[in-house]
Chains A and B, each alone.
Chain A
Amino acid sequence: NAGVTQTPKFQVLKTGQSMTLQCAQDMNHEYMSWYRQDPGMGLRLIHYSVGAGITDQGEVPNGYNVSRSTTEDFPLRLLSAAPSQTSVYFCASSYLSKQGSPIYNSPLHFGNGTRLTVT
Chain B
Amino acid sequence: AQSVAQPEDQVNVAEGNPLTVKCTYSVSGNPYLFWYVQYPNRGLQFLLKYITGDNLVKGSYGFEAEFNKSQTSFHLKKPSALVSDSALYFCAVRPDRGSTLGRLYFGRGTQLTVWP
Q: Interface on A for B, CB 8 Å cutoff?
A: 4, 31, 33, 40-45, 48, 50, 56, 58, 90, 92, 94, 96, 101, 103-105, 107-113
Contact = CB atoms under 8 A, between A and B. Distances in A.
Interface of B: 4, 9, 32, 34, 36, 41-46, 49, 51, 90, 94-96, 100-104, 106-109
B69 to A, nearest CB: 17
A94 B92 CA distance: 15
A110 to B, nearest CB: 3
A113 B43 contact: yes
A34 B9 CA distance: 24
B102 A42 contact: no
A36 B100 CA distance: 17
Given A42-B106, A58-B103, A103-B102, A112 B42 contact: yes
Nearest to A106: B102
25 contacts: A4-B43, A42-B106, A42-B107, A42-B108, A43-B104, A44-B106, A45-B103, A45-B104, A48-B100, A50-B101, A90-B43, A92-B43, A92-B44, A103-B102, A104-B94, A107-B34, A110-B43, A110-B44, A110-B45, A111-B43, A112-B41, A112-B43, A113-B41, A113-B42, A113-B43
